[in-house]
Structure 1
Amino acid sequence: MKLSTGRGRGIVLSALLFVLAGCGWFGGTARPSWIDGGSPQFPSAQYLVGVGQADSRPQATEQAYAAVSRIFKAEITAQAKDWESYLVVESRGQTSTERRLTLDNVTRVTTDKVLENVQVLDTWFDQKTRQYYALAGMNRAQAEAAMVERLNELDRTIQTEVTEAHQTQDKLSRVRNLKRAAKNLVLREAYNTDLRVVRSNGQGNASPHRVAELTAELEQFLAKNLLMAVVLSGDQAEPLERALVDGLTQEGFTVVGGGAGAGPAELLITGSVRLWPIEVNDPHFRYVRWCAESVIEEVATHRVVGALSKGGKEGHVTEREAAAKAVRVMQQEFASDLARSVAAHVYGERDLPASAATPSGCPKEAVQPPVSR
């Protein structure tokens, strides 16, 4: 059956439009000038671009986006020294928590926002080399408007936090507001760095606050007004106490002597440690069980603000080695977790557990003699 003339022309026209729409990927046009670093269609004064090249279309597109991303990452890394006083404190320790703000976190957060303004502007396929090319970029004016709006929002938040920190009489409230303000200011400065990249004149919007100044104010206030004391008892309490003091110091706190010397402290951390051998049906290893528990209270009011308990079992070829391993585990799992939990409470990010249940397998009192040292 023959097609009508009108219908046949429609099919031909549709096919032609399809070919033209995809001609960039199939090499139907000459090599675009943007591949070699310039394009009258996307001038650098109006567009910030990146070029990707790969064996497949998705890979070329991904590389083009990555090329744009690298421009911003490089600039943020170059500016990071201004935030070093804050970032160094936040990256201490080996375990990442929600509140930690490292340079990688900052870069990832801002880059994700930047890429929201990036799109594929053009594509081309080289028939000879069988390579795909993609041009990704952003309109500078549109991206600038979005970034300025974000900066203004952060400026309002930071100013509110700083004002509340300076007006409150509550010590914890002051610490928490200063901490939040410093964290938001790091993000704000990262966005401002992005803005300088987007603007062809390289200018950003200055902030009335500086990260180093807020961080220094927070550290000074903590050192003078929020001292801590640690008192642990029991077998192997000394190495655990040292680890806890180190952890609290890394979190930015000053630890004073415990017991009668805890007078100037705001928070007192007391606890006990137990370590004893257990019988396990294992001809090759000896085992010990450990338990550690702590209570955190306000010195002035004797109000308990939280508690934490942990326990476990460790084995080794000898009882002495099993005990040494248990001490290391206690330092990592109990002391480090306790220091981070106290810091999270002070900074207002997470409440301490109101009470601590005895871990499974850990009696209230050790009924067997402690491990010999």
Structure 2
Amino acid sequence: MRSWLTFLMKRSSGAGLAIVLVLCAGCGWMGGPARPAWIDGNSAQYPASQYLVGVGQADSRPQATEQAYAAVSRIFKAEITAQAKDWESYLVVESRGQTNTERRLTLDNVTRVTTDKVLENVQILDTWFDQKARQYYALAGMNRAQAESAMVERLAELDRTIQTQVTEASHTQDKLSRVRNLKRAAKNLVLREAYNTDLRTIRSTGQGSPAAYRVAELTAELEQFLSTQYGMAVEVSGEQAEPLERALIEGLAQEGFSVAGHGAASGTTPVELLIKGTVRLWPIEVHDPHFRYVRWCTDAVIEETATHRVIGAVSRGGKEGHVTEREATAKAVRVMQQEFSAELARSVAAHVYGETDLPVAAAAPSGCPKETGASPLGR
């Protein structure tokens, strides 16, 4: 092989030499005279004090490369999981409503976001092909100094953002603004702590960069404010109103709010939002000899108690069937509790926390017709 390359280099033009260099770029995969030391975790060329590495082994080049990247990724994921206990106060609150994971900041989401950023600094450092065993090896790694510089810059940016949000939360007189800034600051602080864990992994000393705040402290401040200063009231009327109202109150409580139900004595927490809903159920005729069907509809509006301004509206409807009308009604109630009440609670929480806007009345047509053409079901 060496004599063949020497012959070509002597006789090639500039363009031909470029082709030879391209061929040489893959020579690492063609095997060498000896097994590289980095496969066994010892490498003078990539010392642990300067590089954080992972080795991949597979039957093909792409798989070996992928496994090498994955080996580096696992180092960071393991560290984040080990450190996550300090964030439990926030992550537990966020995981209460598990039916809507898109807007939740879960541990899996944290590790994915931070690890993706870390892997931007990882590259394939070396490769080798074991001709006898027909196995491909790849060494992936990052230069600790370069990765540290990028991570320190990212932490500084998050620190500035968190400080701005905490300052605005403490100085504003607007309750909604305070809630949103505290929520965003806590969320950013979780990410910041995850990045700091990555920094400790990157640095050979294992030292990170302390934050000015703690996740548990910000979360406790937010929960305290919601329980004492930002209450809600729920009023649901109509057929089967009681189980629907109970499910809505439970959903809002799981989101962290203090909620009073219809007819409940007023508490000490000021009521900032009033959620008023109606529910109707009635039997319908469907040409089915085995099942009886019930149609249901729900409408709800959310208004600010101070101004009586309607800020959102949610409507849903559907039909459920079972072997008897009574069982069909019970099934419809369960569906309303799961689909309508849970969705409404999440929508209200997303609005309060500044994540998404509530549907407006014009965009949420009434789910209940004015006349059903049948007698409503009893409560």
TM over 0.5: yes
Select between 260-269 and 282-291 the one with higher mean Cα deviation.
260-269
Alignment of 1:30-41 (within 5 A): 30-41=34-45
1:15: Cα distance to partner?
A: 7.2
Query: Which residue of 2 is the match for residue 347 of structure 1?
Result: 353
1:17: Cα distance to partner?
A: 4.5
Query: Which residue of 1 is the match for residue 130 of structure 2?
Result: 126
Letter in 1 for 2:337: Q
Query: Which residue of 1 is the match for residue 11 of structure 2?
Result: 9
Alignment TM-score, normalising by the size of structure 2 = 0.92
1:185: Cα distance to partner?
A: 0.4
Query: Which residue of 2 is the match for residue 248 of structure 1?
Result: 252
Q: What SS class does the counterpart of residue 319 from structure 2 fall into? A: strand
Query: Which residue of 2 is the match for residue 329 of structure 1?
Result: 335
Q: Distance in 2 between matches of 1:271 and 1:211?
A: 36
Query: Which residue of 2 is the match for residue 46 of structure 1?
Result: 50
Query: Which residue of 1 is the match for residue 3 of structure 2?
Result: none
Q: 1:280 aligns with which of 269, 277, 286?
A: 286
Deviation sequence 1:190-249 (CA, Å, 0-9, x none): 000000000000001101100000000000000011111111111111111111111101
Deviation sequence 1:302-337 (CA, Å, 0-9, x none): 222211110011112222221111111111110001
Select between 261-270 and 49-58 the one with higher mean Cα deviation.
261-270
For the 8 Å contact 2:9–2:17, the answer to whether it is kept is no
Alignment of 1:110-125 (within 5 A): 110-125=114-129
Q: 1:297 aligns with which of 292, 303, 312?
A: 303
Q: Distance in 2 between matches of 1:16 and 1:345?
A: 62
- Which runs of 5 or more structure 1 residues have no equivalent in the other structure? none
Query: Which residue of 2 is the match for residue 161 of structure 1?
Result: 165
Q: 1:367 aligns with which of 368, 373, 378?
A: 373
Alignment of 1:68-217 (within 5 A): 68-217=72-221
Please tell me the root mean square deviation across aligned C-alpha atoms, in Å: 2.0
Q: Distance in 1 between matches of 2:23 and 2:314?
A: 68
1:168: Cα distance to partner?
A: 0.3
Query: Which residue of 1 is the match for residue 68 of structure 2?
Result: 64
For the 8 Å contact 1:344–1:350, the answer to whether it is kept is yes
Select between 264-273 and 36-45 the one with higher mean Cα deviation.
264-273
Q: What is the total number of aligned residue pairs between the two structures? A: 367
For the 8 Å contact 1:274–1:366, the answer to whether it is kept is no
1:52: Cα distance to partner?
A: 0.4
For the 8 Å contact 1:23–1:29, the answer to whether it is kept is no
Letter in 1 for 2:365: A
For the 8 Å contact 1:358–1:364, the answer to whether it is kept is no
For the 8 Å contact 2:68–2:140, the answer to whether it is kept is yes
Q: Distance in 2 between matches of 1:259 and 1:74?
A: 50
Q: Distance in 2 between matches of 1:61 and 1:131?
A: 12
Letter in 2 for 1:357: P
Q: What SS class does the counterpart of residue 242 from structure 1 fall into? A: helix
Identity rate, percent:
78
Q: Distance in 2 between matches of 1:189 and 1:6?
A: 55
Q: Distance in 2 between matches of 1:182 and 1:6?
A: 63
For the 8 Å contact 1:291–1:310, the answer to whether it is kept is yes
Query: Which residue of 2 is the match for residue 258 of structure 1?
Result: 262
1:14: Cα distance to partner?
A: 6.7
Letter in 2 for 1:285: F
Select between 242-251 and 27-36 the one with higher mean Cα deviation.
27-36
For the 8 Å contact 2:297–2:318, the answer to whether it is kept is yes
Q: What SS class does the counterpart of residue 77 from structure 2 fall into? A: helix
Letter in 2 for 1:330: M
Select between 255-264 and 181-190 the one with higher mean Cα deviation.
255-264
Q: What SS class does the counterpart of residue 30 from structure 2 fall into? A: coil
For the 8 Å contact 2:232–2:273, the answer to whether it is kept is yes
- Which runs of 5 or more structure 2 residues have no equivalent in the other structure? 1-6
Q: Distance in 1 between matches of 2:355 and 2:299?
A: 22
For the 8 Å contact 1:276–1:288, the answer to whether it is kept is yes
1:262: Cα distance to partner?
A: 4.9
For the 8 Å contact 1:50–1:65, the answer to whether it is kept is yes
Q: What SS class does the counterpart of residue 116 from structure 1 fall into? A: helix
Q: Distance in 2 between matches of 1:107 and 1:145?
A: 20
Alignment TM-score, normalising by the size of structure 1 = 0.94
> Structure 1 pair 214/14, CA: closer, same or farther in 2 (3 Å)?
closer
